[in-house]
Amino acid sequence: MHVEVDVPKCVASGQCVLLAPDVFDQREEDGMVVLLDDNPPAELHDAVRESATVCPAAAIRLEES
């Protein structure tokens, strides 16, 4: 799985950080998403998919391999 984030679209809800803290973080100053791992291990895939679906800005894009 390959993960991309569209930072300008991010609205700093932090939903992804709560669901997959090993893959996503937020910038300290404005809360914008920070991608920690663009190729997460299989055991995190469900949490990453859920993050992408629930992201209120549709800022997370996945490519499933």
Partner 1 sequence: MTATTTSRVVIVGASAAGLAAAETLRREGHTGPLTLIGDEPDAPYDRPPLSKETLSGAWSPDRLPLRTQADLDALDLDTRYGREAIGTSVAEGTVLLADGTEVPYDGLIVATGVRPRRLPGTPAHVLRTLDDALALKDRLGPGRTLAVVGAGFLGAEAASVAAGLGTHVTLLEPAPVPLAHAVGEDVGRMLAQAHFDHGVDLRTGTGVSEVVPGGVRLDDGSVVEADTVLVAVGSRPNTEWLTGSGLTLDDGLVCDEFSAAAPGVYGAGDVARWHNRLFRTSMRIEHRTNAAEQGMAAARNLLGAQRPFAPVPYFWSDQYDLKIRAYGYLRGHDEMRIAEGSLEERKFTAVYRTGDRLTGVLAAGMPPKTTRPWQQAIAASTPWRQATSLLEGAAA
Which residues make up the interface to partner 1 (CB under 8 A)? 9, 11-15, 26, 28-31, 49-50, 53-58, 61
Structure tokens at 53: 């679906």
* DSSP secondary structure letter of residue 11: -
Nearer to partner 1, 13 or 35 (CB): 13
Structure tokens at 38: 């663009």
> CA-CA distance, 16 to 1, in Å (whole number)?
16
Q: How far is the CB of 2 from partner 1 (least distance, A)?
A: 13
Q: How far is the CB of 44 from partner 1 (least distance, A)?
A: 15
3-class secondary-structure state, position 24: strand
Nearer to partner 1, 7 or 11 (CB): 11
